[in-house]
Amino acid sequence: MVTNETLRRLDQLARELAQAGRLEDVAALTEAAAALRTGDPRWVPIAEAAERLNFPIPMVLGCVERGALTGQRVGGDWYVSRIDIDEMNERRAALWALEGEGNPTDEEIQAMYERRRQRRRDTA
């Protein structure tokens, strides 16, 4: 299994090769790193992440920049943590379920206050 540190080092090496003008080597290294990354089921390409989240790609990149999603750049391509995507979708589903319950009515709010007042009277 390829570690994130290994992929980070490959990316650094590609930058150094680019600075040295070794563009064919950069292309080969970038292709190899992308193959290693896409073979890792923990990471998905950013386009797939956007599709799974139903977000545009710039929004996914914004989530990565803010730390809401874990992402890594390999060469010129971004990859996003599959676990983070699944967790974000779970949180969104939970929020939608809560939204579906709706807000309490005025009568329900008044009843809650009345129960609280009654408990205070009972304990006084």
Fold classification of 41-124 is: Multidrug-efflux Transporter Regulator; Chain: A; Domain 2 (1.10.1660)
The pTM score is 0.55
Q: How is the chain split into domains, by residue range?
A: 1-40, 41-124
Q: What percent of the chain has pLDDT over 90?
A: 33
Tell me which of 3-17, 30-44, 68-82, 96-110 is least confident.
Answer: 30-44
State how far the Cα of 70 lies from the Cα of 65, in Å rounded to an integer: 9
State how far the Cα of 68 lies from the Cα of 11, in Å rounded to an integer: 23
